[in-house]
Amino acid sequence: MLELSHTTKTHDESRQGEALDMLPTGKSTGRKLYIESYGCQMNFSDSEIVASILMDKGFETTKDFKDADVVFINTCSIRENAEQRVRNRLKEFESAKAKNPGMVVGVLGCMAERLKAKFLEEEKLVDVVVGPDAYRDLPNLIEKVDEGGRAVNVLLSREETYADISPVRLNSNGISAFISIMRGCDNMCSFCVVPFTRGRERSRDVVSIVKEAQDLFNAGYKEVTLLGQNVDSYKYTPAVAEGEEAKPTVNFAQLLELVAQVSPELRIRFSTSHPKDITDEVLYTMAKYENICNYIHLPVQSGNSRVLELMNRTYDREWYINRVDAIRRIIPECGISTDVITGFCTETEEEHQETLSMMKYVKYDYAYMFAYSERPGTLAAKRYEDDIPEEVKKRRLTEVVDLQREHSLYRIEKFVGKVHKVLIEGTSKRSDKDFCGRNDQNTMVVFPVDERFKVGDYVNVLGESCTSATLIGKIVD
């Protein structure tokens, strides 16, 4: 059993979130903050950090940008249409600002570095541009704008983890929360802009992570998701005072165990894993603790070794299959999801077929599937020609999507007739007469409301039927 022995100072279908109304944590300034987030879970987690920093300065949050004094959009640079989507939204904010000249509008996150000049100077759509490592500077930057200027800070850091900041839980159901365990990425995948927008990889203090999990559980939360660009490369070496003995480095498997030990009633998820780094030690830790969900997101991107090398994924087809086989051997009931890119530079029809054959081998529970789009500043944009015609990319993507739909149905049909432990997250989007929640494998489960239970309770649900995306059942004793 692991112990904590050192002290610490006191994570394309873009998603959109709005801040909830909350009281300030510091002396109120009467100013209201609105944050809208796009992209990955890490962006949503970052927005909670931003809210905490500004609420400590007396801001309140609002869910209507027209009522806000400060409006931020937390951006994502992964997909090609993200930039236009953000620009369109900024123009809506511009209209609101015309009626409220004192409003401060800013862009946060992954688009900040690449588009700072365009948004600030050329189009004058924003007053503030702030990168992911500069959120502590926001009060100062807002003050500069209040004084009549424009402000920018997109400097990347090798140390910043925001470990001492307790995130404000925006859009929370009070049941599930994200915990960022690391920032940045050292994997230079040729198609990906993240290393350039989020900087080098650094792991957060293990004590602060476990404390955040404990605090969330004490506050009534029942599920946490540990977030990182590559959680399996988490590695934290505690600092020691002069004269003290060095303390052992904590890896991801050990961190996972420490968080699982907070309480058997706190369910643990994590994202994202990298095929080159996920170890058997992680898998055995998952198998050891019932409250660590049997679900792994393991992006494959391509099923062909040559294409994987061009992508700089640092593993080949055989290695990926080895990791899948290990998951199936150690955690037989584990759900596996993935990411797939079709039409990467120079991909042949035969190589595309190898992606389909990989999908047939694994039979993923679900997948995020995209046609390749060149992102400015990436290694692929510098080295390779984006030479696959759009119609070919889209046709290959359709084949991938159609096959995945078959596999999703295949996997979910196996849940019918079995009893699943489900955490009630709320009522179904389609009917307030149904509860919804996810099973261990991250599959959405819908079942009739039972007055004996409430949101946040664990229930046993018998799967009775399904669609390709949802398991339908009833609560059983």
Residue 466 annotated as lining a ligand binding site: no
Residue 189 annotated as lining a ligand binding site: yes
In single-letter form, the type of residue at position 378 comes to: T
For 363, residues 6+ apart whose C-beta sits below 8 A from its C-beta are 407, 410, 411
Per-residue b/e over 171-197, b at no fewer than 16 CB within 10 Å?
ebeebbbbbbbbbbbebebbbbbbbbb
Listed in sequence order, the DSSP H helices in 7-121 are 41-55, 82-99, 112-117
**Rounded-to-integer distance, Cα 343 and Cα 386, Å:** 9
Strands 470-476 and 434-438: unpaired
Residue 345 annotated as lining a ligand binding site: no
For 369, residues 6+ apart whose C-beta sits below 8 A from its C-beta are 339, 340, 342, 397, 400, 401, 404
In single-letter form, the type of residue at position 332 comes to: P
Token pair 């650094």: residue: 202
Residue 185 annotated as lining a ligand binding site: yes
Listed in sequence order, the DSSP H helices in 100-232 are 112-117, 138-146, 194-198, 206-218
**Taking phi first (over 0 means left), then psi (-120 to 50 degrees means alpha), and beta for anything else, what does residue 73 get?**
beta
**Rounded-to-integer distance, Cα 108 and Cα 46, Å:** 9
Positions at the binding site: 40, 76, 110, 185, 189, 192
Known binding residues for [4Fe-4S] cluster are 40, 76, 110, 185, 189, 192
